């Protein structure tokens, strides 16, 4: 089995490339989206799925740039009548996020005839990308009730039972920060998700007995910023896993424009783009910055948010041109002034910040913009980050 291939693109065809790996050419089939990212002479690393085509008596390789695209293909080929070729064609037209919404919309029609609840959904990715909002949209699209809670609030089996027993058939239960559920609560959740029943221990000592409570079919939507902290048994019970990625510049522009309309704030096009550039690909941050700039404008008694005002306000808030704040810069400076890879615990102590906060809010964006690399020995600053720090004269 081949897990991944790294090499140079020798040839780009309509649905595949020839990848040169140590002078051996591999034919790798790609989706149109991945294919567009490959050019002759470029060096790429692809995740690989192997398919034995018995009809043509050949083994075919299918490549993916992202784990999410690979997971989507594996979900698609499980559907009766969907071949690898058909699945790749679907992925050429839909992003993993669009495919997820298509599954939801398709399931809405199927569920009406099957009288079943939607399969359980797991949303994971950096904070501020709209996991809670997406869960509410799913509930609204299915026209069912929405119940929300969070992992830290469910400290005892009784807390979980109190929530589950109030659900009606096909309701959506949303658990935010599901990775913070303790293991005993997770185990109670297993049977609730799989068999729609609840096993509760009643009594103590020799008189202990198990009470089984039947539950109506429901949909659990879990949200987490730290997928690795979920136990494998719980993770595997989610039929629709979806990774949310940072938003594109164009998507953030649309979100900021809508936010300005909601706030009844007049804003110039250049100002919208300025905020989008500094929003770190995160809608929550974009809207927060917009509100602070709106406050700044009102204090100045101006009528419109201009690019100059937006830039000035963001600078006063300590947000630089790339959206980096003081904590980000402290993180980068510490790595710059430390020789060799640095462990996360050392960084946490140096910055007086919680490890979880660094891993969830600081590192994802710095890794995305190629400023930091995670290695087995620790965190390493890239040459791109060193150049950025030097240009901006922030190294001390």
pLDDT for the residue numbered 396: 43
Asked if the structure places residue 396 within a domain, the reply is no
Q: Do 227 and 89 share a structural domain?
A: no
Residue ranges for the chain with pLDDT beneath 50: 80, 113, 394-396
Q: Do 238 and 102 share a structural domain?
A: yes
Residue 25 has phi, psi (to 5 degrees) of -90, 125
Q: Do 274 and 286 share a structural domain?
A: yes
Residues facing 380 on adjacent strands = 373
Asked if the structure places residue 321 within a domain, the reply is no
Which CATH number fits the domain that encloses residue 18?
2.40.50.140
Which CATH number fits the domain that encloses residue 336?
1.10.10.10
pLDDT for the residue numbered 89: 75
Q: How many domains does the chain have?
A: 4
Asked if the structure places residue 80 within a domain, the reply is yes
- Please indicate whether residue 131 is annotated as part of the active site: yes
Are the C-beta atoms of 304 and 267 separated by less than 8 Å?
yes
What letter does residue 23 receive in the DSSP assignment?
T
- Which of the following is catalytic: 34, 219, 224, 225? 225
- Please indicate whether residue 140 is annotated as part of the active site: no
pLDDT tens digits for 152-164?
Answer: 999 888 788 888 9
DSSP string, 38-105: --TT-EEEEEEEEEEETTTTEEEEEEESSHHHHHHHHHHTTSTT--HHHHHHHHHH--HHHHHHHHHH
pLDDT for the residue numbered 73: 80
pLDDT for the residue numbered 77: 74
Range of the domain at 31: 4-93
Residues facing 172 on adjacent strands = 146, 219
Nearest residue to 119 (alpha-carbon basis) of 137, 130, 106: 106
Nearest residue to 118 (alpha-carbon basis) of 137, 133, 132: 137
Q: Do 61 and 118 share a structural domain?
A: no
- Which of the following is catalytic: 131, 180, 278, 280? 131
- Please indicate whether residue 284 is annotated as part of the active site: yes
162 Cβ neighbours under 8 A, 6+ residues apart? none
Which CATH number fits the domain that encloses residue 234?
3.40.50.300
- Please indicate whether residue 176 is annotated as part of the active site: yes
């Amino acid at each position: 089995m081949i897990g991944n291939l790294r090499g140079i693109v020798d040839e780009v065809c309509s649905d595949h490339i020839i990848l040169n790996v140590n002078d051996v050419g591999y034919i790798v089939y790609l989706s149109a989206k991945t294919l567009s990212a490959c050019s002759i002479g470029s060096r790429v690393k692809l995740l690989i799925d192997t398919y034995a085509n018995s009809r043509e008596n050949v083994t075919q390789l299918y490549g993916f740039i992202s784990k999410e695209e690979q997971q989507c293909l594996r979900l698609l080929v499980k559907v009766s009548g969907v071949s690898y070729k058909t699945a790749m064609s679907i992925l050429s037209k839909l992003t993993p996020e669009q495919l997820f919404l298509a599954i939801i919309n398709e399931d809405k029609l199927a569920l009406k005839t099957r009288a079943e609840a939607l399969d359980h959904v797991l949303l994971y990715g950096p904070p501020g990308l709209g996991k809670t909002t997406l869960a509410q949209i799913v509930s609204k699209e299915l026209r069912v009730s929405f119940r929300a809670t969070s992992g830290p609030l469910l400290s005892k089996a009784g807390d979980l039972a109190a929530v589950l027993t109030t659900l009606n058939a096909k309701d959506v239960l949303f658990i935010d920060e599901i990775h913070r559920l303790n293991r005993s609560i997770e185990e109670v959740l297993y049977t609730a998700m799989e068999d729609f029943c609840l096993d509760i221990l009643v009594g103590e000592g020799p008189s202990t007995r198990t009470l089984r409570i039947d539950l109506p079919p429901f949909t659990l939507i879990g949200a987490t910023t730290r997928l690795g902290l979920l136990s494998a048994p719980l993770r595997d019970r989610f039929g629709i896993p979806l990774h949310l990625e940072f938003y594109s510049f164009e998507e953030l522009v649309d979100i900021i424009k809508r936010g300005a309309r909601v706030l009844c704030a007049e804003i110039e096009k250049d100002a919208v783009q300025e905020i989008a550039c500094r929003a770190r690909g995160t809608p929550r941050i974009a809207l927060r910055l917009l509100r602070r700039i709106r406050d700044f404008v009102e204090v100045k008694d101006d009528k419109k948010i201009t690019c100059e005002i937006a830039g000035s306000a963001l600078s006063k808030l300590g947000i630089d041109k790339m959206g980096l704040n003081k904590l980000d810069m402290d993180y980068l400076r510490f790595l710059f002034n430390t020789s060799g890879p640095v462990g996360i615990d050392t960084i946490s102590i140096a910055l007086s910040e919680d490890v979880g906060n660094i891993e969830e809010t600081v590192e994802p964006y710095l890794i995305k913009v190629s400023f930091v690399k995670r290695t087995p020995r620790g965190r390493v600053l890239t040459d791109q980050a060193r150049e950025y720090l030097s240009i901006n004269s922030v190294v001390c």
